[in-house]
A and B are shown apart, each in its own frame.
Chain A
Amino acid sequence: MLAVKKIINDPSAVVAESLRGLGLAHADLLEVVDEPAVVVRVDAPVAGKVAVISGGGSGHEPMHGGLVGPGMLDAACPGAVFTSPTPDQVQLAVQRTDGGAGALLIVKNYTGDVLNFETAAELAAAEGTRVESIVIDDDVAVKDSLFTAGRRGVGGTVPLEKIVGAAADRGEDLDGCLAIARRVVANVRSMGLALGAPTVPHVGTPSFELADDEMEVGIGIHGEPGRARMPVENAEGVVARLLTPILEDLPFTEGDRVLLFTNSMGATPLLELYLAHGIAERLLAERGIVVERRLVGPFVTSLEMQGMSLTLLKLDDELRDLWDAPVRTAALRWGC
């Protein structure tokens, strides 16, 4: 098969070269450290504030580097494409951002991420920094059973990082931030779907093959195949297919107030994304679920995967206020 076209040089240098560009584009917000690679807030450490740190494989941009800045992440640890970062990256992130109040690590539930962050937390604790971790596992496509590695962390990561970042900003201590993080994880659910596969630069060919008339439902964000393959449906069908399992899972019921996050996996244009978002709002209204806040756009991408995901977070006044609090990052910016 012919290699997929990409605007890259050496496939093994893609992450490093992209980070260089990120650093230049947003020098007012963040600094890019290399070897080991870490994206840090320019004004880190912020004295007395809990450091909020995340990370994961690259290829999901703007997550996580584009979410570094006041009101959100203090540091992000970018791994190789679709591969979790290493403990030394996380350790450096903790050292660079610890303002004396400890660090909260936001970890998406994948074996590699969990193992590497776990090792890093042990190392940081040995150095005397208080570190806590929160594992996000919002993907309803995966059965949470003894027979799997558990649910994956996907779209819910963005509201989690925003809300925990705001909590740290308002002066919550480490236990307070952890409690709020747990509340978000308990109340957020997501599901995604792909119409076309992404191509990992160092692989060169698509991660999976879909026929012209097929879609993959319950897809993860790493090009790992999904739950089921089926004939392509129109937007009404697609949105219902994503929304129904989310609603049934928590469950979300009449009278609930929610944040609705309509996410592009990379290649699906905003024209289609807004169309889908409109349908999701209508379906929620029909069930008496109140959409109080929304986010639409490519935030948790899977390289150039064509497709989308929906994320619902059940809100209360405090979570809503933390969502509304000022944030200034490359990808999310309001109130300041």
Chain B
Amino acid sequence: MGCTAEDLAAALRSAAVVVREHRDELVELDRAIGDGDHGENLRRGFDAIVTALDAATPPTPGAVLKLAATTLISKVGGAAGPLYGTALLRASTAVGDAAEIGPAEAVAALEAALGGVVARGKAEPGDKTMVDALTPAVAAATAVDGSLAEVLAAAARAADAGAESTVPLVARKGRASYLGERSAGHLDPGARSTALLLASLAATAAGR
């Protein structure tokens, strides 16, 4: 069974709770190799998404994604705002006005999201960014022939491994790149938040 606009709104509310729970962790990760704002940026953004959803739930999953995207673009700032915002905007376009998101739409949305992040940020795999979590997530999702929950579970697992793989890398994009070699040995905050968000979506899908 697919994911309706209501289901997706509920999933985003759960994701907002996860972001709150991990706010300090993301701040700490960003403090080590950036400027310590990533956790607070995402907290501000996801709380704003919840507020926007409280006002009214848009009619289709695509419209929910679009509302989340414009909210992130207008409330977050930093690198993460336009990057996650563009990701969700492209995902919204990929989903179109389908009434429900099934496994095929989810894969298309993930591919489009990755395309959006790369188009805006121009990062390549190995640059120590959220792209290092999202790229394997898309590959894993594409390889699964199963339910929505199975697709998202595979994406989440791959994103987590992808995030961990950023630890030894030297950053070549974003603020962490100013550190050069000193950025190695740390987990990239954006890759970590991507893994957390996908894990949250997967958990919601599994629980339904």
Contact = CB atoms under 8 A, between A and B. Distances in A.
Interface stretch (B58-66, B131-139, B178-186): B178-186
B125 to A, nearest CB: 15
A111 B173 contact: yes
B115 interface: no
A111 B73 contact: no
B178 A82 contact: no
Contact of A149 (B40, B170, B178): B178
A143 B180 contact: yes
B177 A148 contact: yes
A84 B175 contact: no
B172 interface: yes
Nearest to A225: B179
B174 interface: yes
A148 B35 contact: no
A136 to B, nearest CB: 16
B35 A80 contact: no
A69 interface: no
B78 interface: yes
B74 interface: yes
Contact of A222 (B35, B82, B170, B172): B35
A88 B74 contact: yes
Contacts of A183: none
B31 A207 contact: yes
A309 B48 CA distance: 37
A151 to B, nearest CB: 9
Nearest to B82: A115
A84 B78 contact: yes
A223 B177 CA distance: 14
A95 interface: no
A80 B77 contact: yes
Given A83-B77, A87-B74, A148-B178, A202 B172 contact: no
A227 B178 CA distance: 8
Nearest to A152: B178
A57 B81 CA distance: 14
Contacts of B36: 82, 200, 203, 207, 223
A218 B75 CA distance: 31
B121 interface: yes
A119 interface: yes
B44 interface: yes
B178 A115 contact: no
Interface string B165-201: 0000010111101111010000000000000000000
A112 B81 contact: yes
A112 B172 contact: no
Given A82-B35, A207-B36, A110 B175 contact: yes
A84 B27 contact: no
A83 B41 contact: yes
Interface string B18-52: 00000000010001001111001100100000000
B73 A87 contact: yes
A148 B172 CA distance: 5
Contacts of B78: 79, 83-84, 112, 116
Nearest to B83: A115
B205 interface: no
Interface string A134-169: 000000011100111100100000000000000000
B95 interface: no
Contacts of B81: 86, 112, 115-116
Contacts of A80: 37, 40-41, 44, 77
Contact of A207 (B35, B83, B177, B179): B35
A9 B173 CA distance: 35
A306 B85 CA distance: 36
Given A86-B76, A110-B79, A148-B180, 8 more contacts: A84-B79, A87-B82, A115-B121, A141-B178, A147-B172, A147-B180, A208-B31, A223-B36
Interface of B: 27, 31, 34-37, 40-41, 44, 73-83, 120-121, 170, 172-175, 177-180, 182
25 contacts: A80-B44, A83-B35, A83-B41, A84-B78, A111-B173, A111-B175, A115-B79, A115-B82, A115-B121, A116-B82, A119-B73, A148-B178, A149-B173, A149-B177, A152-B178, A200-B35, A202-B40, A203-B31, A203-B40, A207-B31, A222-B35, A223-B36, A224-B175, A224-B178, A225-B182
The 3 A-B pairs of least Cβ separation, nearest first, read: A148-B177, A115-B82, A112-B78
